[in-house]
Amino acid sequence: MTPQSLLYFACVISLIFGANGQFNRVHLTKLQALDCPEPAITLNIFSGTPNPSWKINKEQLLSMKKMANDALLNSNNKTTLNKLTTRVMGYQGFTISCSAEQSVFIHGLYPLEQLLLRGGRRHLSTSIVVHVKNHLGEVMSDLEDVRDDNANCNHVPIRGPDTVPAYDPSTDDNGCFITKQSENNCYAYGTDIVTNTFPQPGRGSGKKWSFNTCTDMGNASVRDGLVYNGTKLPTAPPEKGHFVALFIWPDTNFHWIRMDSNGYWSHKPGGTAVRNKDNRGLPITDPTKSDFSPWTQYCAYFVAQPSKLQVN
């Protein structure tokens, strides 16, 4: 975080927890005074990571000022325009800002929050849009179409076949490793199950892994239903399911690679895109010979049969 954004963050916090978070005349006056070519919108929603933020232009700011003004006038000058909520987690409101000093917190002004959310759609994941929409209420029914676009990726878990999967991220599990890229990791992709939970070995079967070691991570995955297959490179496909390989970044992190029907291996590092190359850009024929640094420790092969796994 830059010093400016820290200041800004502190400012937002004080606004959120200030005596009056609901949009009122004071906020309106501040909003009308905002003036800069590229105001920033921040959706105040996360606790652990930076909030989503994007830029708007002067015309958009103008229409927001107008909307806020009209909405407040039409409300018989009441200070609030939606139900007061006591939510402390998740959606808190939006911030429109030109600088740390010039920023306005928006909450409790339905029409404007609607407008802000619509404008932010393409910067936000579906789950966030749906969360804010649910918070704001049914008024936002036209946001349903965003949801519909991704509906088949929201009905999790989505399991691949018990045969060896094809390497084709656009069709694999309905393309949901792309649509829901940030919510599915190497374990989801390796086991070929879309969970949208960034699944962790062991968690689905009741006890998440404890240590970033081959034995602990291996045992956690076996509890989830993976079957240990030793350390020798498989040559033929298993009777059911497909092969995965476990790698460890010692004491730090884990990684999974899977074998596809073309005989090559592919993987999905964390929330990044699915790929079929290693760090050197080479196709993966023998995972132990590929470069997956910093996941340098190769552990073993396992058989993953999607229908039999408890992955979450």
Ligand X SMILES: *[C@@H]1O[C@H](CO)[C@@H](O)[C@H](O)[C@H]1NC(C)=O
CB 113 → ligand X: shortest distance, Å? 21
CB of 211 to ligand X, least distance (A): 10
Tell me the two tokens of residue 256. Answer: 């999974």
Whether 192 and 160 have beta carbons less than 8 Å apart is answered as yes
The answer to whether the CB of 140 falls within 8 A of the CB of 117 is yes
Written as one letter, the residue type at 298 is Y
Conformation bin of residue 174: beta by default, left when phi > 0, alpha when psi is -120 to 50: left
**Which residues contact ligand X by CB under 6 A?**
73, 76-77, 214-215, 218-219, 222, 228-230, 234, 238-239
User: Judged by CB, which is closer to ligand X: 177, or 243?
Assistant: 243
Of the two residues 101 and 251, which places its CB atom closer to ligand X in the complex?
A: 251
State the nearest-atom distance from the C-beta of 221 to ligand X, in Å: 7
By beta-carbon proximity to ligand X, the closer residue of 182 and 288 is: 288
Instruction: Give me the amino acid identity at 232.
Output: K
CA separation for the pair 236, 241 (Å, rounded): 12
Smallest distance from ligand X to CB 166, Å: 19
Nearest-angstrom CA–CA distance, 179 and 198? 14
Instruction: Compute the distance between CA of residue 219 and CA of residue 188 in angstroms, rounded to an integer.
Output: 17
Cross-strand partners of 42: 53, 95
Q: How does strand 297-304 pair with strand 40-44?
A: unpaired
* Nearer CB in complex with ligand X: 95/305: 305
CA 233 to chain centre: 34
The helix/strand/coil state of 184 is coil
The answer to whether 269 touches 282, Cβ cutoff 8 Å, is no
Question: Considering the complex, what minimum distance in angstroms separates the CB of residue 94 from ligand X?
Answer: 24
Nearer to ligand X, 202 or 238 (CB): 238
By beta-carbon proximity to ligand X, the closer residue of 49 and 77 is 77
Residue, CB closest to ligand X: 218
Closest approach of Cβ 2 to ligand X, in Å?
38
